[in-house]
Amino acid sequence: MKKVQLWLLHAVFFIAQILPARWMGALGAGVGRMLFYVLRRIRLITLANLTRVYPEKSRTWRIRMARASFAEAARTAFELPHVFLRGKDFLLSHIEIDGEDELKQALSEEKGVFIVAAHHSNWELEALTFSMLGYDSTTIYHPMKNKVLDDYMMQRRTRFGAQMQSRQAGLRWLPRALKNGQLIGVMIDQHMSNGIQVPFLGHLANTTALPASYIQRKPTPVIAISLDRIGHDFRFKLRLQKVTMPALSEDKAANTYHMMQTIGDTFAPIIHARPELWLWLHRRWYILEQEEKIAKVVYGTP
């Protein structure tokens, strides 16, 4: 059964990538706008997130931005057949790169590099870019519940030589990977139940403590990346910038907090510049949602 599902997935992606990427993206955007009205629960999560971060904006603005976020998420999903099946030359021809010198300078320190990223625009293409450029990289990821889909994603994500490490598998491999000069990709905008609470877009959110916890033991450069879509087409600009970490104190917990806050703050102007490109559809501030529910029950607060 799994082989049949995998074959069907391959077939659908193969057929889809025959169509121009621009067409697939436009089709996806249309489907996303439709899903905005169909998926009530996700629509409410999206609007709640936008209200939390942009309380000063009008309700009309937040609805328009939520609808645009749905369109961008679906556009990205419909572009995946091209991202996962098209060749290196085709994909790189659609990406402008700004700041690669920052990465090369960081690598020259021979300590490896942490690459921090967010779910911004087409993040699968963003992650794939480094292996296409010839960099030795490993991305920490969260396995999907569907084994067939997870296996397929693993094949596609590693097809240019990148490696993947499940965040459930521990970090014993990490020191050697950095010592060997690898790029270690970490998504910093996911809710982590066992993470630390630091501000993200101005509100506390459970966040991974990596790379801050590691850097305190072995100083390692950190590069923040973002992939900006150019217009609404299948064209992008990849931006890389070094993150300057705050000075360390003797308080390890405080160091971790301030480091991760600094990394998170790096993405704030990127997201604010074009909010529709970020994935507002997920529950980034889950811990605050729970606290607000408790407060409403206990104190009757709105």
Whole-number mean pLDDT of the chain? 93
Q: What angle do CA 140, 144, 145 make, to 5 degrees?
A: 145
Q: What is the pLDDT of residues 200-219, one digit of tens each?
A: 999 999 999 999 999 999 99
Residue 302, pLDDT score = 47
The pTM is what? 0.93
Residue 279 has pLDDT above 80, yes or no: yes
Determine what percent of the chain is predicted with pLDDT higher than 70: 96
Residue 3, pLDDT score = 73
Can you tell me the mean pLDDT for 244-254? 95
For residue 196, being part of any structural domain is answered with: yes
Q: How far apart are the first and last CA of the chain?
A: 49
Contact in structure between 289 and 197 (CB atoms under 8 Å): no
Residue, of 185 and 301, whose pLDDT is higher: 185
For residue 216, being part of any structural domain is answered with: yes
For residue 293, being part of any structural domain is answered with: no
For residue 298, being part of any structural domain is answered with: no
For residue 281, being part of any structural domain is answered with: yes
Count of domains for the chain: 1
> 233 lies in which domain range?
2-285
For residue 296, being part of any structural domain is answered with: no
Query: Which of 294, 284, 277, 296 minimizes the C-alpha distance to 123?
Result: 277
Q: What is the pLDDT of residues 114-154, one digit of tens each?
A: 999 999 999 999 999 999 999 999 999 988 888 888 989 99
How far apart CA 284 and CA 192 sit, in angstroms, is: 9
For residue 295, being part of any structural domain is answered with: no
For 25, 188, 205, 275, the CA distances from 288, given in Å and listed in that order, are: 34, 17, 7, 21
CB atoms within 10 A of CB 2: 9
For residue 290, being part of any structural domain is answered with: no
